[in-house]
Chains A and B, each alone.
Chain A
Amino acid sequence: MMNPINNYQSKQPDIGPDVYSAIIEALSENAIFSLTDEKGDIVFVNNKFIEISQYAVDELLGQNHRILKSGHQPQEIFVDLWATISRGKIWRGEIKNRAKDGSYYWVDATIVPIPGPDGKPKNYAALRTIINDKKEIEAKNKKYVEDLEKINKFTVDRELKMIELKKEIKKLEEKLAKGLKVGP
């Protein structure tokens, strides 16, 4: 398997364990990292995971990852996620999680299967970054578009109503004119 860290390696040839540790440390500064077994039970979390989820380490280790499930996303997303990673493929997507205090947070998640001796996924490594700001902007934009659509619909409806009213007025005027002709 190609070493992903060496993909863009410079002339410096030696990337040893120290460098990997430094890379993981750097990632851990602003990314949420976890490692699970084949069932999705958590076997490792970094400090960022603990901080964001608000659970203590001993409340997370051994727990299934769905301890964070918000329940606000269609089940199809998780069916696709599991269908993908259990085939040994990488899955990437946006997930809404629920912290221990009940508050929600959005993450951009990448889940990488790690094969066991039999070639089947034995563990899953997941890297997540918080995207609350992005989701907030998306929600605002969505609301803006919905509001515009409402205003547009209101304007069109009003215009159609005016046309109907004008027709009615014209009919009344015609009737009235006829009535005057037949009057005394």
Chain B
Amino acid sequence: MIPIHFTATLSKKKFIAENTAELTFLVSNPNFSFTAGQYVSIEIPSLSGATVLDRYHDFSIASSPKNSKEISIAFRVSKSIFKTALLALPVGGVVNIDGPKGALTLPEPERPDIKGAQGPAFVSQNIPIIFVAGGIGITPLLSMIRYATETKSPQQITLLYCNSRKETTAYAEELHALAQKNPHFTLVLLLGVPVEKLFAPYVQNAKKTPNTFWYIVGAPAMVRKVEQILGESGIMNTQIRIEEFSGYLPS
């Protein structure tokens, strides 16, 4: 799916956890669709005089691709130029979007029609998946869990979701509901810091199922540490997919 450029209108704005906002946009382009786990680049027109790096910001889509006409994003509120402007955007305000982008998606059938299309995106749906989310890194994983539940996917998913405190745990209530609804989804909420230390026992436990596939999403230090723990446990790089929420420098 090659990204396209379109405008979107802010339709909802709410706080979903401490210092954490969720914005929902109505998509103007009927050709837009995305795969669960992908992200979009958002440009705020009022920042047109700013540098490229201040003008655009990438956000994982938290909503399910079942309804690609409306997308939601979530982020920790900060004093950055971009997030301040985004949060100040009134309902009805318009942004420019490039997307969808990113390759952090659920396993899908092989595509022999595409040259070079091999690799971790094409693992079997029978292989269990463990999602490791640190804080707001939950957003792309939530999209996948929502989609897997809606489509009654047989994919076995375990989510290890870590936050420093209960108050900062976004989407906790909905995740509990999804775990009730989807027999193939297991939720493990972890509270405390450092994140990687909390994950360690679960990661060690992974030795019992060596073919498990891992998705790690969060701050760079957390992603690197969990990846290191997995590596030391004998998990191959090819079984791991990562996405860093790290400020968004494009390289």
Which residues on A are within 8 Å of B, measured CB to CB?
A: 36, 38-41, 50-51, 53-59, 61-67, 69, 71-72, 75, 78-79, 81-82, 86, 95, 98-104
Find out whether the CB atom of A75 lies under 8 angstroms from the CB atom of B246.
Answer: yes
Please list the residues of chain B having a beta carbon within 8 angstroms of any beta carbon in chain A. 1-4, 41, 51-53, 56, 58, 98, 101-103, 111, 114-121, 220, 223-224, 227, 236-242, 244, 246-247, 249-251
* A55 nearest in chain B by CB position: B116
Q: Find out whether the CB atom of B119 lies under 8 angstroms from the CB atom of A99.
A: yes
The smallest C-beta distance from B193 to any residue of chain A, in angstroms, reads 20
| Cross-chain contact of B119 among A62, A81, A101 (Cβ < 8 A) | A101
Residues of A within 8 A of B237 (CB): 102-104
Are B2 and A58 touching (Cβ within 8 A)? Answer: yes
A-B contact pairs, 10 of them (CB 8 A): A36-B250, A53-B116, A55-B119, A64-B250, A82-B249, A86-B53, A101-B118, A102-B119, A102-B120, A102-B236
Which chain B positions have C-beta within 8 A of A39? 41, 52, 56, 98, 250
A172 CA / B2 CA spacing, docked (Å) = 82
B242 lies within 8 A of A71 (CB): yes
Q: State A95–B250 Cα separation when bound (angstroms).
A: 13
Q: In whole Å, how far is B6's beta carbon from the nearest beta carbon of chain A?
A: 13
Contacts of B56 in A (CB 8 A): 39
* Residue contact A38 to B41, C-beta cutoff 8 Å: no
Interface of A, secondary structure class, is mixed
Residues from chain B with Cβ under 8 Å of A67 in the complex: 101-103
- Residues of B contacting A101 in the complex (Cβ-Cβ under 8 angstroms): 118-120, 238
Specify which of A39, A72, A75, A81 lies most central, judged by the most chain B CB atoms within 10 Å of its CB. A39
What CA separation (Å) do A62 and B238 show in the bound complex?
24
Taking a contact as CB atoms under 8 Å apart, the answer to whether A64 and B116 are in contact is no
**Nearest CB of chain B from residue A9's CB, rounded to whole Å:** 33
User: Shortest Cβ distance from A124 into chain B, in angstroms?
Assistant: 10
For B249, the chain A residues whose CB sits under 8 A away are 66, 75, 78-79, 81-82
CB-CB under 8 A from B2, the residues of chain A are 58, 61-62
Q: Give Cα A63 to B240, complex, Å.
A: 20
- Listed from nearest, the 9 A-B pairs whose CB atoms lie closest are A40-B250, A62-B3, A100-B119, A101-B119, A56-B114, A102-B238, A102-B237, A78-B249, A56-B117
| Cross-chain contact B244 with A95 (CB below 8 angstroms) | no
Q: Which residues of A contact B119 (CB under 8 A)?
A: 54-55, 99-102
Given contacts A59-B116, A65-B250, 4 further A-B contacts (CB under 8 A): A39-B52, A86-B53, A100-B118, A102-B236
Least distance between A115 CB and chain B CB atoms (Å): 14
> How long is the Cα–Cα vector from A57 to B4 in the complex, in angstroms?
15
Contact A66 B251 (CB under 8 A): yes
A86 touches B52 (CB 8 A): yes
**Minimum distance in angstroms from B154 CB to a CB of chain A:** 23
Contact check, A63 vs B114: say whether CB atoms are below 8 A apart.
Answer: no
CB B7 to nearest CB in A, in angstroms, measures 17
Residue of B nearest to A100 (CB): B119
A52 to B97 CA separation, bound complex (whole angstroms) = 29
**C-alpha gap A45/B249 in the complex (Å):** 20
A69 and B1 contact, Cβ closer than 8 Å, known pairs A56-B115, A56-B117, A100-B103:
no
In Å, the complex CA distance between A52 and B251 comes to 16
Residue contact A65 to B251, C-beta cutoff 8 Å: yes
B106 CB to closest chain A CB (Å) equals: 15
